Amino acid sequence: MDNYKRRIIKLVKENPIIWDPTHPEYTNRDLRKNVWDEIDCQLPQIVVVVVVVVVVVVAVEVVVVAAAAKMLFGVNKSSKEMWDLLIKGYSNALRRSHRRCDRGDADKGKEWKFEREMQFLLPAKKHRVSTGACPDVGYDFKLNDDDDNDDGSVEPIELKTEPGHTGHAPDSGDDDDFSTVHLPDWSDDDNCSEPRHSRKTDKEETAQRKSVEKRKSTTSCECTLKKRRAENLEESPRLNFFRSLMPTIVSLDEDQFLNLQLEVIQAVQKVKQGPRPVIPLQPDN
């Protein structure tokens, strides 16, 4: 398992975009996600090796051994999840070393097993380790006066958060017990990107635009009717008949208006082609 973790550390070190805030593309979420996916592809497939060995014996045991291998080696975690846990262990190691320096016994104590491999992170972490309250850092570590945990166990951390930033204080336990580790993600864009604003969907924008156009059309028709009434134009009774229907026609939507047009055209053609209706004469009184 240690070799698996060292492999992750090596791959992350080769891609500063996912851990160096000064990298020009550090705020590019999609690009960083692609880098993590590439790292996942480059990691050794421990489970596959175990399955290939067992499949020759009994096919039924493949699923059991594969599940056991995942639990044993921890490969059910993605490279990013494993890296977050390694970051947490490294932070604890630096904090213990810092306290030992304050007490004057820097040469004493047990070094964390991955501490040397992860020293390339010091430029990014130096403000958190040295000052702890630097204004340009989202959170800092509160150093306790408890004794060092020389067995590499994880120590409690109290985090100070700025508005808009949330952190979880990790529980105490072994560095390798990754089931209880909670560390704020360095690659989280909450500290390096502006707040997102809600955006209307294309469907909502289209509906709103149609509503505005419909209101404009209705207003235009009403203005025309009022203008003609004001001018008191002499018009035929037939035109007045259709004009009296305008308030109802304006209230129709596009589909209803198209259906009305078709029905009116068909009705007019039917009347023109058919025989004239016979109007019965009124009997003389």
Give the pair of three-digit tokens for residue 119.
Answer: 């020293």
Among 107-121, 159-173, 219-233, 247-261, top mean pLDDT goes to: 247-261
Range of the domain at 84: 79-191
In terms of domains, do 148 and 214 share one?
no
Q: Which residues pair with 154 in a beta bridge?
A: 173
214 within domain boundaries: yes
Q: How many domains does the chain have?
A: 2
Model confidence pLDDT, tens digit, residues 117-132 = 888 888 876 644 444 4
Say if 146 falls within a structural domain: yes
Domain-located, residue 20: no
- Residue 217 and residue 175 share a domain: no
Same-domain status, 84 and 172: yes
Residue 144 lies in a domain: yes
Check whether 108 has a pLDDT greater than 80: no
* Arithmetic mean of pLDDT, 190-205: 59
* Domain match, 138 and 235 both: no
Provide mean pLDDT across the span 160-182. Answer: 44
Interhelix angle for 2-13 vs 29-42, to 10°? Answer: 140
pLDDT at 122 (0 to 100): 84
- pLDDT surpassing 80 at residue 268: yes
Q: What is the mean pLDDT of residues 255-262?
A: 89
**Assessment of whether the complete model's pTM goes beyond 0.75:** no
Q: Rounded distance, CA 241 to CA 245, Å? A: 7
Query: Shortest CA distance to 181 belongs to which of 196, 195, 171, 166?
Result: 171
For range 58-83, the mean pLDDT: 55
How many CA atoms are closer than 13 Å to the CA of 161, on its beta-carbon side?
A: 13
